[in-house]
Every structure is written in C-alpha cells, then in structure tokens.
Chain A
Amino acid sequence: MIINEFLQDLTKIPNMQAIAVYGVNNNLLDSWTVYDSHLQKLNEISLHYFQIFSILHAKGKNFKEVLISHDNGQIYALILPDLLFIILTKLPTDISLIRLIINVSVSEILSSRNVQKLLKKTREKHLNFFDKKYLDESEKELLKKIGI
C-alpha cells in the first residue's frame, strides 16, 4: 500500500531489485520485489539494520542512512522515527534519486490515515534489538566491548 500509493517512482528506477518498508518493531508494512526470494532476504536482514541504527543512536550519532556496497550491487537503508526502508539495487544505481523520492514522499506517507493506523499498532509493542536471542557469540562479545 505504501509503495504503490507513495513510492511508485522508486520501482521505476533502473536496476531496482527490491523495496521493503518496516515499522519500528521490525514488522513488514509493505514491499515490492522483482524476485520473491528478495523479500525473504530483506526480512532476514532488517533486524540487523535496526541493530546498527540502534547502536548509532545509543552513541549519539545522527546517521539516518546506511549503504552497504558489494561487487554486484548495493543495499541502501534509510531510517525515520517510525519507519525503516531497505532497498536492494544492482549497479549502477543513483542513490541520490532514491533519497530524493523517499524524502519528498515522507510527510505524505506519515500523514496518511492508513499508515498511521499501521504505525499505531506497531508502537504498542517494544522490541529489544539487543536481546541475546538476536545476537551471535561474536556480536555479543563486540557489544560487551562497546558497553551495550
């Protein structure tokens, strides 16, 4: 609903592979993918993104976007107070265009009644992204060193 209504332009960008929108408790709100298998991957990695943004927030760093670049593409993520966008693209893709499309649509998305309903449900539950069940041994050790 969110993508179809507000972010159609994203799906038309060349080399776009997948778009997923999550609420702050890692619940999938909407998605668009070229291949079904991409959605499964996005659902598996979204928690890792929440962990990354949470740790940056805990350290007082105001980073809202993260991009991981690999040999064949990019994974771009943008976080807002109530939403997380994760986008898979092949190379080359203009990230500034993706950023622009999302930023232009944000206020409309957040003021939409349907989205507000979805977000209200999301806010009722609070997830601890650093619960031990979400971390492997190396991550636990690294977090211990950071003091989290």
Chain B
Amino acid sequence: MVLVGNLKDLRLANIIQLNCMERNVAKVTVTSHEGTGYLYFADGQIVHAEFSPYMGERAVYEMLALTDGQFKVEAGIQSPAHTIKRPWNSVVLDSLRELDEKSQQSTSLPKRIFSVLSAQKSIKSLQVLDLKGKLLEGKEHEPLDSGVIAFIWFKAKKILTYFFNENFRYIYFRSDDSYLFILEFRSSLLAIKADLNIMTEEFIRHVLKTLRGIE
C-alpha cells in the first residue's frame, strides 16, 4: 500500500506517530526543496533515518524542520540499517523542543540586530534578511529590493569561492550620496545604507563589533 500527500496537510510528526502506534513496517520518503529524506519503521519504532548529509536522530530532526514537501508512505519495506536506538517519542519530542527553541532564537536575533544597528548615527537604513533573500526586518525596498540583495550576495560568494578560493567578508556599493554594504552575520544577510563620510573598513569593524555584542 502506498500513501502520498503533502507535509502542509499532514505533519511529519503525525506520520511518525501513526506508523509507530500501528507498529507498521514501512518506509516514508520525504521530498522537499532541501533534499530527499527517508524514515524506516519496524516494531513500533523509527529504526533508521537518512536526510543527506545526516543519518539517525539528526536526520529525523532535520526532516521534522521541513514545513513543505511531498511524502510517500510505503508499507512492508524493511530498513537497510538500524541507526536509531531511542524510543520514537523521545526522538520526536526532543527534536520538536529543539526546533522550537531554535525558532524562538532565530526570530529574536534579527529584531535585535535591526534595533541596535538602526540606532547608529551613520546608518541611514537597514534590512535584515535570511540567506534566501526573505526580508526579516526593515522595509522591502529600502535600501534595496531583498531579492536583489540575495542575488548580489550570491554572486560575490560565487566570485570569491570559484575563482579566488577566498572567504567573503563584505561587499559595498558606492553612489554619489551613500554606501550600501551587504554582509553576513550568523544566518542573516544585512543590507546597510551609510553616509559617504564614513571610513569603510573602520565602519565594518564597528558594525561587526556591535553585532558580536548582541549575541
């Protein structure tokens, strides 16, 4: 028997619970934009999980973090390995708790970054985005479209990694009246518009020092 659906309609935690309570021997395949993962069930437990590059409990954790993707449940498929020894409910509950804590931290950090840096005199405007270009704090088009920031950051990283084998520090643009800096901090992208009268290297050092103080 094969059951297919979307994680938006049925959460992975519920799929796990169902298979464990029913003591199914089954394989669950999850396909999302972050990759494909597999869960194997037997004797009322999760016995094995893979979600590249993770295996075991970490793979379960990463898969539980997915909010969108297709799932497929196939009954009667035996696990090729036994990487999970703890009871299924401990694995799932610990993962969900950790994800909840991570979510709380990740929502508060961009707010703090925005609040602290916005108060700096030389900063005219500021955006905080995730690494995919989703705006977390600030206005959508000020100083720049969030999608454009993500594209430029991706390009800069590509230039440095592919052609120079160097680590990205920051990028800045200069117009007739301002600088626009793009830098990475933790899992966020920052776009900062600053006055022309700043010294760029000193300014970045000051911003990074301020950011480290937020953590």
Contact = CB atoms under 8 A, between A and B. Distances in A.
Interface of A: 41, 44-45, 48, 51-52, 55-56, 59, 61-73, 75, 92, 95, 138-139, 142-143, 145-147
A65 B173 contact: yes
A147 B200 CA distance: 31
Given A59-B148, A64-B174, A71 B169 contact: yes
Contact of A51 (B155, B168, B171): B155
B152 A55 contact: yes
B159 interface: yes
Given A56-B173, A65-B173, A70 B144 contact: no
Contacts of A56: 148, 152, 173
A75 B204 CA distance: 16
Given A63-B175, A139-B151, A143-B151, 11 more contacts: A55-B151, A59-B144, A64-B174, A66-B174, A68-B160, A71-B166, A142-B150, A142-B151, A145-B147, A146-B145, A146-B148
A68 B150 CA distance: 15
B175 A67 contact: no
Nearest to B169: A69
A51 B172 CA distance: 16
Contacts of B154: 138-139, 142
12 contacts: A48-B158, A52-B152, A55-B148, A55-B151, A55-B152, A61-B144, A65-B174, A67-B172, A71-B166, A75-B164, A142-B150, A145-B133
Interface residues of B, number: 31
Given A56-B173, A68-B171, A69-B169, A75 B145 contact: no
Contacts of B172: 66-67, 69
A51 to B, nearest CB: 7
Interface in B13-33: none
B156 interface: yes
Nearest to A62: B175
A44 B162 CA distance: 10
Contacts of B156: 68
Interface string B36-50: 000000000000000
A146 B167 CA distance: 26
Contacts of B148: 55-56, 59, 146
